[in-house]
Structure 1
Amino acid sequence: MSQPDQRKNRRRRRPIRLVSAFLVLLGLAGYFVVQYESTGGGGPHCTVDAAGTSHRMSLEQAQHAATISAVGVGKGMSDRAVVIAIATAMQESDLRNLDHGDRDSLGLFQQRPSMGWGTPEQIMDPVYSAGIFYDHLAEVRGFEQLPLTVAAQKVQRSGYPDAYAKHEAEASLMTEAFTGRAPASLTCSGPAPQRKGDPEEVRRELVQAFGAGAAPRIGAPGTAGAPGSHGQAVGSGGSTEISLAVNGQNKRRGWELAHWAVAHADELGIQRVSYDSKAWLAGLNRGAWVDKNPGKGGDDDPRNSGPADVRIFVTR
């Protein structure tokens, strides 16, 4: 091929390369826009926003805070007890389930097997470790009237007893959300969960954290569940529903369950949650709750649940 012909061919290929490069850049830009919209900026995270203040945390931290609160609720502990427990775990482990620590300390509360807190396997179970913390706290006479540092120290016997106080404000804010006192105050952003959800796994986790009274029954529509609740499995565009019926007058109970489900969405493959005229959809709306829009979609659309239903959809 002559040199003029070679130059002509190179000129013909340049526009094709430029168009291809532009399409690649356009695709990348679209990807980052979607990621930004789903996360609200930054990586996946959860935020509690109530009483004019907010606290941001990782998905893991939100899961553990929700578990600590649920165990306290299940044991009939007060909100003050939940604040003390969450603040203690923030100081001891930064709300992470650590498999190491000072000497043989482990888990959320850095409990030591050698000091009678349980076996390593037990302590590494967040439900167990939160439960035994509450058991010890309940033995502290008048703990609800004590300063947080004093109450926590009587349980933990830490070498740094004054350190718990710095977490009280954030722990109080999280308690507002996870005990249901602040409706729709928890947002969790990030892409929709990639793992498939298992309704039975969600059921087990609910019962383990809250107790048998929170158990949904997974079966045909209209089946009866545990006292005060019922459940059903319903196909919905690639998801399966677990529906929890709670007392319509007890909005706080409903929001406890709804916020727990949102905090555990990534871990359990939960796609959608709805309650009390609000809906949360994984990967959309920057993780925020949105108003339901009755009349759109079928009967299994999460925006169309009744006022007394907490509805949880898992990815199929």
Structure 2
Amino acid sequence: MPHTLKRSLLSLGAVLALILLALWLSGGLLALERWVIEAQRAVQNQLAAGVRAIKQGQPGALAALLAVCFGYGVLHAAGPGHGKVLIGGYGMGRRVAFWSLAGVSLTASLAQSAVAVALVYAGVAVLGWSREATQSVAQDVMAPIGTLAIAAVGLWLALRGLRKVWQAAAPPHHDHDHHDHDHDHHHDDTCGCGHSHGPSLAEVQAATRWQDRAALIVGVALRPCSGALFLLILTWQLGIALAGVAGAFAMGLGTAVVTVAVAGMAVWAREGALANLPFQRTARILPWVEVIAGSLITAIALTMLGQVL
């Protein structure tokens, strides 16, 4: 692909991301969100019908239920939620490779399903909770904890970005031997002048550390899908628990479709914004991008926390 065409395609990603951000901030996506919420309610009725079909032994009922669950997962991820905010904001703020971020998105979505399974079976099967009690724990306890985890990840990003800004702005340190006047300079990013000019190429392009990935996965997983809880409790009560577990993970795969797409959009937008910049300027701008992305994640998470409390 010609270099000019590649840069144009990357720049298009940045433009599309700005348009979507403007629509979201202005409330232009509220109609879409309302439609998604209504569609989720309609699909929940199909989930109940699918569960009854399995209980009655109808042929193909399990496959049909899994398909409905997958669709519900897509709708769940497309609606209002924190997973897209975290994955998208992190992808914008950190120069992580798409496949690495996509892997985190998939793992986080499946971990969210696993948390739903663990919550239902620990609550219903072990502790004897009712459906209302289990859903109350998910909404009143786990949702605030998960939202706080999102805010913590955003704050972590912002503070790490500020630390890099401060390090880049600090005057270079020279270590002089005044006896023979040999100069010993420590180079993080060699440019011929003996000074450090911000993050090195290896640092900017390195994959995120395992702590980053773990924080992202935990932040998403701590808020289990309400549809998965509904399905798991219903199938447990009807004695077809394994169908519920399979359905919960089908929902996770559906959720992953959207979060992986968000990861791709974030990487596309980030690289588009940086495509026309020389490396030295990119190295100086990236910490500020991390600060802005982290601050946005924190602000959005705190707003969501106010809604769930």
> TM range, normalised to the smaller chain?
under 0.3
Q: Which has the higher strand share?
A: 1
Q: Name the structure, 1 or 2, with higher relative contact order (CA <8 Å, separation 6+).
A: 2
TM-score calculated relative to the size of structure 2: 0.25
Q: Which has the higher helix share?
A: 2
